[in-house]
A and B are shown apart, each in its own frame.
Chain A
């Protein structure tokens, strides 16, 4: 499934990332768009810097998923899909975000699998 504004999970993912990386998203006086956001590198999103060891990258990814989960559940009022909890969400999503050169859009389908998002039933 490609990065699609009509998918609620994709929109919520971008909204969480945009809020988390607000300064970068609003840099230069203009707001980064949904389409542009899909091209953001996960390394940037999870604060990986060149030279980080694989272990460091993995830990940073888990830390980010914890923040993402708080935003998806408590702020945007989505819920975990059946069979998912925070632990499983971290287990499923962290390796994807830990792939340093992967883009945000590549994680959208896994996020969709983990969360039942507001608007999905419509």
Chain B
């Protein structure tokens, strides 16, 4: 929970704590980060160059300044740059939590500032046997993921998930097969050659030769999850135990359609036993019994570079949760099945746009959500 409060804390930072004006010079104070100082100067410039600016009205200036500064510092661009600043990074060092601020536009409601947070760690991993074609491992992993907004009731993705999983992995043993022809050019190892076109092309050629005989390759995992799902206020909670199976496909043969266009599908299927708390929508509707649920997830990444000659990657994600033999009460209030479809356009440096339709567990109504990446470079 500490992680959540840390991420939420950015919403509640008082403006004076972010910007302390040096009274005598009117320039950024020594304690300001570079990002805050830039925002401060930008605000100051905007206020004093406004056509309604009255130099004799000090109170009016302060009000305008505060209003303008607040609007800037609550932008995801500013908050994310603050997270990336060396001073803030140094303070967060050792807290292995990833956070990203973004604006979420909701249908028939005001846009909200949200923060996505995630954390994952492999707790322990053991090698099992390795034969000629596969590597087998057993591991314990921990994961935390969620979205928070300033007001919980405004959160369109009101689901925080935590899990400890015990899983077996079956992965192709690339090293068990002979590598194709690899040309080593020592000159390409020099720093000044890092962006050289010839060396880049040579690396690519070696890459293509690195996976002979792996035309269509499956990566699979299966195991058990011990999970916890909660809404942002941790009132509605589900404890769950799941048995899951994951498979991802990658084709290294560039002569096939999947390989040439680099299309990469993945599926995750699980059977869950869920123990809901009394505050879940399902329990409040009149059924607080434990239940079984089938969860399925399909994920597809399609680069459009080759396919349509545009520099984007199309993403599609579909998540479904279906309660098994749900009671009439649960069916009547439409809480026995949840679906969430997400379409997205991405670039290497960020999300361009995504559109989500549906809801996740704890969602009462379906919502249509458009997310505009805080970094869009058209």
Contact = CB atoms under 8 A, between A and B. Distances in A.
Interface of A: 5-6, 8, 11, 14-16, 18-25, 27-28, 31-34, 39-41, 43-45, 47-60, 62-63, 66-67, 69-71, 73-75, 77, 85-88, 90-92, 94-95, 98-102, 118-119
Interface stretch (B28-36, B277-285, B349-357): B349-357
A90 to B, nearest CB: 7
Nearest to A92: B122
B105 interface: no
Contacts of B349: 39-41, 44
B207 interface: yes
A44 B348 contact: yes
Contacts of A52: 297, 299, 317
Contacts of A14: 194
Contact of B350 (A41, A63, A95): A41
A95 B121 contact: yes
Most buried by A among B219, B315, B348, B371: B348
Given A87-B125, A87-B137, A55 B225 contact: yes
A59 B264 CA distance: 13
Contacts of B244: 55
A98 B171 CA distance: 18
Contact of B266 (A25, A59, A69, A118): A59
Contacts of A32: 348
Contacts of A66: 135, 171-172, 174, 219
A40 B346 CA distance: 11
Contacts of A71: 207, 210
| Interface size bracket, B side | 35 or more
Contact of B197 (A31, A45, A87, A99): A31
Contacts, number: 210
Given A54-B118, A56-B266, A99-B120, A75 B248 contact: no
A47 B264 contact: yes
B184 interface: yes
Given A44-B347, A58-B120, A102-B98, A53 B319 contact: yes
B77 interface: no
B206 interface: yes
A19 B204 contact: yes
A70 B174 contact: yes
Contact of B163 (A54, A94, A119): A54
